[in-house]
């Protein structure tokens, strides 16, 4: 897969130094990986099991081994039985010390390369009907470690051992809640789509007994968009971002920049008066704005450029973040287009049908392109949980509020334990039923 060790070593050093706030140097070679620390005369050596496997472009073995770290008693991992992807037998003795050298018997450096270079996607090559990587062929899913931020856990184990063996002062990783919304639609009732609207109105009358909205719409529909938008059930931005404890979490709203002929795309234009009002309101909540690029644009660089230009001419932001609509993505090609358009961060990396840790981490990182032997100059914020993943019939279909909350709280607990970001996606169009409203509030309150 990769051909050069030096840029790979530079990138791993940079990633670990950024995360730990220590001055770390990693040298990866054919034989082993060696960790050096500034002002520290000890070295740590890792065997190269996973690095070798990636170098020779092999698949990860379909076998799950573990390392039990119970006797080491670490607090900042999810469970003491830690998965060891890449190994075909359990790791019994995790490390040994010989003079000034600590030998590590699990290849944490290789695991980092594996997780943050999307190696699993590169080896998967099967896609669902929307062109997204098929989770059922993911090594993370098949070997049941998607639910563990394993890379974060292994990094924490490494620093725990360094601080206990050598009294090294390691920074604690901090938890942060990142609340995001993808604005696929701003109108639940749209007079330009009479059939869809009539269907929705009838459904809403039965489901939500929201009769006042429906009557108002019927009587006043010519004025609906102009005057009464605040009553539209998709105008939920205040409920999403309002918070008593000021600024304790990061907020992002992603807008679809242009309408298209696809039935999957948006019902608004960025120069719509109501969008301008939404933007003004969101600014009062300190929300960051980004693009939510159209369905099927993920492989079309020109179309991506057009949309980002449209976004920039309508919404002013210091920098551009992005999440692809439908989470459509091809690694690394979609990143090439985003980087060429100076997008600084992306929030797409996650499976639509499953919550969890698709990159083994809940920390932000810059990915590595194994094909071109270089770091990609964009920050990834891994998506941990999306609203519909929990309760849609297509996905987990958990329709009991307590069970859905329990599932969500597990991921929040994981992010808190390891010290990472719980990145939640809740669509503004998914706060209609009492179930959605109550579940969202419980998850948000718990994550704050
Ligand atoms: Zn979307």
Q: How far is the CA of 231 from the centre of ligand 1 (A)?
A: 22
Which two structure tokens, joined as six digits, stand for 202? 């009838």
Give the span between the Cα atoms of 148 and 82, in whole angstroms: 9
DSSP assigned state of 60:
P
Q: How confident is the model at residue 5, as a pLDDT?
A: 94
* For residue 175, pLDDT beyond 90: yes
pLDDT of amino acid 213: 65
Cα of 295 vs centre of ligand 1, distance in Å, is: 8
Q: Which domains does the chain have, with CATH numbers?
A: 5-166 (no CATH), 176-186+234-447 (3.20.20.370)
* pTM across the whole model: 0.92
Q: How far is the CA of 188 from the centre of ligand 1 (A)?
A: 15
Query: How many Å apart are CA 118 and CA 368, to the nearest integer?
Result: 8
| pLDDT greater than 70 at residue 227 | no
- pLDDT reported for residue 391: 96
User: What is the CA(292)–ligand 1 centre distance, in A?
Assistant: 7
Instruction: Give the 3-state secondary structure of residue 32.
Output: coil
Residue spans of alpha helices (H) in 208-315 = 211-224, 237-241, 273-284, 301-314
What is the C-alpha to C-alpha distance for residues 295 and 205, in angstroms, rounded to an integer?
30
Between 105 and 224, residue with greater pLDDT = 105
pLDDT the model gives residue 335? 96
Task: Tell me how far the alpha carbon of residue 40 lies from the centroid of ligand 1, in angstroms.
Answer: 48
Q: Compute, in angstroms, the gap from residue 191 CA to the centroid of ligand 1.
A: 22
Q: How far is the CA of 273 from the centre of ligand 1 (A)?
A: 21
81-92 pLDDT, tens digit per residue, is 999 999 999 999
Q: What's the chain's average pLDDT?
A: 90
- Spacing, Cα 206 to ligand 1 middle (Å): 26
- Is a pLDDT exceeding 90 seen at residue 267? no
The alpha carbon of 325 and the centre of ligand 1 are apart by a number of angstroms equal to 4
Q: What is the whole-number distance in angstroms between the Cα of residue 181 and the centre of ligand 1?
A: 9
Ligand 1 centroid distance, CA of 9 (Å): 36
Distance 293 CA to ligand 1 centre (A): 8
Going from the Cα of 254 to the center of ligand 1, the distance in angstroms, rounded, reads: 9
pLDDT at 72: 83
CA–centroid distance, 131 to ligand 1, in Å, is 14
259 CA from centroid of ligand 1 (Å)? 13
Q: How far is the CA of 327 from the centre of ligand 1 (A)?
A: 7
Place of tokens 């091809």: 330
Q: Provide CB contacts within 8 A for 431, sequence distance 6+.
A: 233, 236, 239, 240, 437, 440
In tens, the pLDDT along 183-213 reads 998 877 666 666 767 777 777 766 666 666 6
- For residue range 419-429, what is the model confidence (pLDDT) as tens digits? 999 999 999 99
CA of 323 to the centre of ligand 1 (A): 8
- Compute the distance from residue 338 Cα to the ligand 1 centre, in Å: 17
Q: How many residues comprise the chain?
A: 448
Q: Taking the mean position of all CA atoms in its chain, how far away is CA 402?
A: 24
Nearest to 162 by CA among 16, 269, 298, 51: 16
Q: Does residue 399 register a pLDDT over 90? A: yes
What integer pLDDT is reported at residue 170 of this predicted model?
77
* Mean pLDDT along residues 14-33: 93
CA of 48 to the centre of ligand 1 (A): 40
Average pLDDT over residues 101-113: 96
Neighbours of 441 (CB within 10 A): 13
Report CA(427)–ligand 1 centroid distance (Å).
8
Percent of the chain with pLDDT over 70: 92
8 A C-beta contact, residue 50 and residue 114: yes
Q: 329 CA to middle of ligand 1, Å?
A: 12
Asked whether the predicted pLDDT for residue 171 surpasses 70, the reply is yes
CA 51 to ligand 1 centroid distance, Å: 36
Distance from C-alpha of 270 to C-alpha of 343, rounded to nearest angstrom? 19
What is the whole-number distance in angstroms between the Cα of residue 125 and the centre of ligand 1? Answer: 23
Instruction: Give CA 370 to chain center in angstroms.
Output: 21
Tell me, in angstroms, the distance from the centre of ligand 1 to residue 287's CA.
18
At residue 332, the pLDDT reads 94
Q: Bridge-partner residues for 170, per DSSP?
A: none
Least confident span in 165-179, 188-202, 336-350, 384-398: 188-202
Residue 404: count other Cβ atoms within 10 Å of its Cβ: 22
Measure the CA–CA gap between 137 and 141, rounded to whole angstroms: 7
Is 2 exposed, middle or buried (CB count within 10 Å of its CB: 0-12, 13-18, 19+)?
buried
Kindly give the distance from the C-alpha atom of residue 334 to the centroid of ligand 1, in angstroms, as a whole number.
16
Q: Which two tokens stand for residue 328?
A: 């459509």
E strand spans, 225-328: 250-255, 288-291, 320-322
For range 25-50, the mean pLDDT: 92
- Which among 22, 353, 336, 16 is positioned nearest to 169, based on CA atoms? 22
Report how far ligand 1's centroid is from the alpha carbon of 294 (Å): 8
Of 383, 362, 290, 367, nearest to 332 by C-alpha is 367
Query: Ligand 1 centroid to 281 CA: how many Å?
Result: 21
């Amino acid at each position: 897969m990769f051909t050069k060790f030096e840029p790979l070593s530079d990138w791993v050093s940079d990633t670990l130094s950024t995360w730990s706030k220590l001055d770390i140097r990693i040298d990866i070679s054919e034989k082993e990986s060696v960790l050096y620390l500034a002002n520290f005369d000890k070295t740590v050596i890792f065997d190269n099991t996973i690095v070798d496997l990636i170098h020779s472009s092999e698949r990860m073995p379909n076998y799950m081994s573990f390392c039990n770290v119970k006797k080491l008693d670490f607090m900042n991992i999810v469970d003491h039985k830690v998965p060891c992807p890449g190994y075909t037998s359990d790791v019994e003795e995790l490390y040994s010390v010989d003079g000034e050298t600590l030998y590590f018997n699990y290849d944490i450096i290789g695991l980092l390369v594996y997780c943050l270079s999307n190696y699993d996607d590169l080896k998967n090559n099967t896609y669902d009907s929307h062109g997204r990587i098929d989770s059922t062929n993911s090594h993370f899913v098949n070997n049941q470690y998607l639910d563990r931020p394993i890379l974060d856990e292994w990094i924490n184990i490494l620093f725990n051992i360094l601080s206990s063996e050598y009294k090294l002062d390691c920074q604690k990783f901090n938890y942060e809640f990142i609340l995001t919304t993808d604005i696929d639609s701003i109108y639940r009732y749209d007079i330009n789509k009479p059939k869809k609207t009539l269907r929705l109105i009838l459904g809403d009358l039965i489901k939500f007994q929201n009769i006042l909205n429906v009557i108002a719409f019927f009587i006043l529909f010519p004025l609906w968009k102009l005057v009464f938008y605040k009553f539209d059930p998709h105008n939920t931005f205040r409920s999403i971002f309002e918070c008593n404890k000021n600024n304790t979490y990061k907020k992002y709203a992603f807008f679809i920049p242009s309408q298209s002929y696809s039935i999957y795309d948006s019902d608004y234009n960025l120069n719509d008066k109501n969008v301008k009002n939404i933007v003004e309101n969101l600014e009062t909540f300190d929300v960051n704005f980004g693009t939510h690029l159209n369905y099927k644009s993920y492989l079309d660089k020109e179309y991506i450029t057009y949309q980002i230009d449209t976004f920039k001419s309508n919404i002013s932001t210091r920098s551009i973040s992005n999440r692809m609509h439908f989470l459509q993505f091809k690694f690394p090609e979609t990143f090439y287009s985003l980087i060429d358009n100076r997008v600084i961060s992306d929030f797409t990396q996650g499976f639509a049908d499953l919550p969890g840790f698709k990159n083994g981490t809940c920390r932000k990182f810059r990915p590595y392109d194994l094909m071109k032997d270089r770091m990609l100059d964009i920050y990834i914020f891994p998506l941990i949980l999306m609203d519909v993943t929990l309760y849609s019939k297509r996905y987990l279909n958990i329709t009991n509020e307590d069970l859905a909350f329990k599932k969500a709280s597990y991921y929040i607990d994981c992010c808190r334990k390891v010290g990472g970001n719980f990145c939640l996606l809740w669509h503004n169009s998914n706060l209609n039923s009492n179930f959605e409203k109550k579940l969202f509030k419980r998850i948000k309150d718990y994550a704050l």
